[in-house]
Amino acid sequence: MSLVIAQGLSKTYRTGDIDVPAIKGADFVIEPASFVAFVGPSGSGKSTLLNLIGCLDHPSSGKLTVLDTDIATLDRRAAADFRGRNIGFIFQDFNLVPVLTAYENIEYPLIMVQQWPAAKRREQVMRLLKAVDMESQANKRPDQMSGGQKQRVAVARALVSNAKMVLADEPTANLDHDTAYRIIELMRRMRDEFGTTFIFSTHDPKVMAEAETTYTLEDGRVLSRTHQEAAHA
Ligand code: ADP
Ligand code: MG
C-alpha cells in the first residue's frame, strides 16, 4: 500500500476576487519508509503541498489519498483525529513549548492527544530522548538549548506517538549548514530505525542532496523526480 497518492492534485487560494493557483495538477506516489524532499524556490508550492498531505487543508481538485484515506472526505474534526493518530510535524521555528523541558516537550503529544498510561509514556519518552541523543539535556528548557538541540527535541516529539509519517516544512531553514546537515542525517536515521516516512521541504542544496527521493517544484508543478539510494551514512 502506498502511503501518499496524489492524482491531478490542485490547490487554488481565493483571496477576494483573485484566484492564486498554488498547486497545479500534481501527480506523485510516496511509499512507506521513504525519505522524500520537495524542493523549489520560495512560492513554488512546497508549504501548500505539505499542508495538503498533512490534512491541514483541502484540495481544490484532483485526489489525494493518505494512508488509504481520501482526505477530501475528512471534516475538521476527523482530520485532526487522523493527524493525531498518523502524522508528526516538525517546524522551521521548532515550536517547542517554552516553559516545558526537553522531556516534557516530547511527552506532550502523549498527554494531550493520546493519553498513554504513565509508565508506558515514560518508557517511550526515554527511548526517543536517547534516539535523538538528548538524554543528558532532558531537563533543559528551550531557552537553554541551541537551535540544533531544539530541532532534535522536535524530531523526537514528532515520532513519540509512533506516527507513520513525519512532515517537516523547511526544518533546517533556521539552522547553520552543519547543523542542518546533522538534523537531516538524524531524520534519516530515525527513518531507518522506526520505519517512519519523512517528507520535508527545503531550498538548501546541501540538505536536498541527502534525500532519497526528490521532487522538484516550480510554480505549482512537479517538474521532476529523482531517486538515489540512501546517501553515505
Ligand atoms: P513555498 O512554500 O514553496 O514558498 P507556498 O506553498 O507557500 O510556497 O505558496 C505557493 C503560492 O501560493 C504562492 O504564490 C503563495 O503566494 C500562494 N499562497 C500560499 N498560501 C496562500 C494563502 N493562504 N492565500 C493566498 N495565497 C497563498
Ligand atoms: Mg513554504
Could you tell me the distance, in angstroms and rounded to a whole number, from the CA of residue 17 to the centre of ligand 2?
Answer: 23
Domain boundaries, the chain: 32-47+73-223
Would you state the pLDDT for residue 222? Answer: 95
Q: Between 3.40.50.300, 3.30.830.10, 1.20.1540.10, 3.40.50.2300, what CATH number should domain 32-47+73-223 receive?
A: 3.40.50.300
Tell me the three cell numbers of residue 204.
538548501
Would you state the pLDDT for residue 150? Answer: 98
Would you state the pLDDT for residue 230? Answer: 63
Would you state the pLDDT for residue 206? Answer: 82
> Which residue has the CA at smallest separation from atom 24 of ligand 1?
13
Would you state the pLDDT for residue 131? Answer: 95
68, 64, 35, 33: which is closest to 48 by C-alpha? Answer: 64
Q: Which atom of ligand 1 is nearest to the CA of 44?
A: 3
Which ligand is in closest contact with the Cα of 41? 1
Strand ranges, E, within the chain: 4-15, 18-30, 35-39, 61-66, 69-70, 87-90, 165-169, 197-202, 213-218, 221-227
Q: Which atom of ligand 1 is nearest to the CA of 50?
A: 6
Res 233 pLDDT > 80: no
Could you tell me the distance, in angstroms and rounded to a whole number, from the CA of residue 226 to the centre of ligand 1?
Answer: 24
For residues 161-189, give the mean pLDDT.
95
Could you tell me the distance, in angstroms and rounded to a whole number, from the CA of residue 221 to the centre of ligand 1?
Answer: 13
Res 66 pLDDT > 90: yes
Q: Is 11 in the pocket of ligand 1 (CB under 6 A)?
A: no
Could you tell me the distance, in angstroms and rounded to a whole number, from the CA of residue 49 to the centre of ligand 2?
Answer: 9
> Which residue has the CA at smallest separation from atom 10 of ligand 1?
45
User: In angstroms, rounded to a whole number, what is the distance separating the alpha carbons of residues 108 and 160?
Assistant: 9
Would you state the pLDDT for residue 115? Answer: 81
Contact 36, 202 (CB under 8 A): no
Would you state the pLDDT for residue 151? Answer: 97
C-alpha separations of 201 from 15, 173, 219 in Å = 25, 10, 15
Give residue 223's pLDDT band: very low, low, confident or very high (50, 70, 90).
very high
Give residue 178's pLDDT band: very low, low, confident or very high (50, 70, 90).
very high
Would you state the pLDDT for residue 20? Answer: 95
User: In angstroms, rounded to a whole number, what is the distance separating the alpha carbons of residues 120 and 175?
Assistant: 33
110-144 burial, b if ≥16 CB within 10 A, otherwise e?
beeeeebeeeebeebbeebbebbebeebbebebee
Which ligand is in closest contact with the Cα of 92? 2
For residues 161-170, give the mean pLDDT.
96
User: Which residue of 48, 92, 223 sits with most ligand 1 atoms within 8 Å of its CB, as the best mutation to test the pocket?
Assistant: 48
Would you state the pLDDT for residue 129? Answer: 97
159: enclosing H helix or E strand: helix 147-159
- What average pLDDT does the structure give for the chain? 95
Give residue 204's pLDDT band: very low, low, confident or very high (50, 70, 90).
confident
What DSSP character marks residue 112?
A: I
196, 213, 204, 216: which is closest to 179 by C-alpha? Answer: 204
